[in-house]
């Protein structure tokens, strides 16, 4: 049976918006949750990068447009973006390491997203695997659609028997949104929120 739920789809279809809505609904119904999402950073109408934002509101850079390497940091690039692995790890890793250690009861861990930028961090990859295997922890996350070179961890997640993946194909995809929101809402009502 599926215990974790992931949302996939092309950029700009509203995966993060849907994750945020589901997180707010869960929190308002008393479910214990922690995690993070990624958010575009815009300047003068142009996207200049991405930030990591924790559910508690802490924010830090994930990437920025940059022709030159960031001094003092190892250079990891996705297209025009230079990934700040150190900043990402400082925000994401404590959440993943602590989500399963909060005592008895189910916890929801929001991970938006597990993509190319985030996968430059080997400790993040290990922490995601550990979180997915933690009893009492349910992951609500996003993964990219398969394009070009496949991402090993993403394909591993897709093939897990305890994962249900929903595909959001366009900004207005009411059927997927309703199914995803319904299943996310069941997290506080049953031990197997995703069914068969």
Tell me the pTM.
0.84
Question: Comparing C-alpha atoms, which of 97, 69, 96 is closest to residue 83?
Answer: 69
Task: Find residue 34's DSSP bridge partners.
Answer: 109
| Torsion angle defined by CA atoms of residues 121, 124, 73 and 68, in that order, rounded to the nearest 10 degrees | 60
* 51-106 per-position pLDDT tens digit: 999 999 999 999 999 876 656 656 788 988 999 999 999 999 999 998 866 556 67
Tell me what percent of the chain is helix, strand and coil, each rounded to the nearest 5. Answer: 35, 30, 35
| DSSP string of 95-137, one letter each residue | HHHHGGGS-SS-EEEEE---STTGGG-HHHHHHHHHHHHSTTE
Q: Which two tokens mark 71?
A: 């001094």
Closest CA to 193 of 168, 152, 181, 177: 181
Write the pLDDT tens digit of every residue in 116-160. Answer: 999 999 999 999 999 999 888 999 999 999 888 889 999 999 999
Q: How far apart are CA 39 and CA 41, in angstroms?
A: 6
pLDDT of residue 178: 63
Higher pLDDT, 87 or 176: 87
- What pLDDT band is residue 195 in, cutting at 50, 70 and 90? very low
């Amino acid at each position: 049976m599926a215990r974790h739920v992931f949302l996939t789809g092309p950029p700009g279809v509203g995966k993060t918006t849907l994750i945020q809505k589901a997180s707010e609904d869960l929190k308002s119904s008393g479910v214990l949750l922690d995690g993070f999402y990624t958010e575009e950073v815009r300047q003068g109408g142009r996207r200049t990068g991405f930030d990591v934002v924790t559910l508690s509101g802490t924010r830090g850079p994930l990437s920025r447009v940059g022709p030159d390497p960031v001094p003092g940091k190892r250079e990891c690039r996705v297209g025009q973006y230079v990934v700040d692995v150190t900043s990402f790890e400082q925000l994401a890793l404590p959440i993943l390491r602590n989500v399963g250690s909060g005592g008895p009861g189910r916890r929801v861990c929001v991970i938006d997203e597990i993509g190319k930028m985030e996968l430059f961090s080997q400790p993040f990859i290990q922490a995601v695997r550990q979180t997915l295997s933690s009893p009492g922890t349910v992951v609500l996350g996003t993964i990219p659609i398969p394009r070009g070179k496949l991402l090993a961890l993403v394909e591993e997640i897709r093939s897990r028997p305890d994962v249900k993946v929903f595909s959001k194909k366009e900004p207005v995809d009411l059927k997927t949104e309703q199914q995803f929101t319904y299943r996310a809402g069941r997290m506080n009502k049953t031990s197997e929120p995703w069914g068969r």
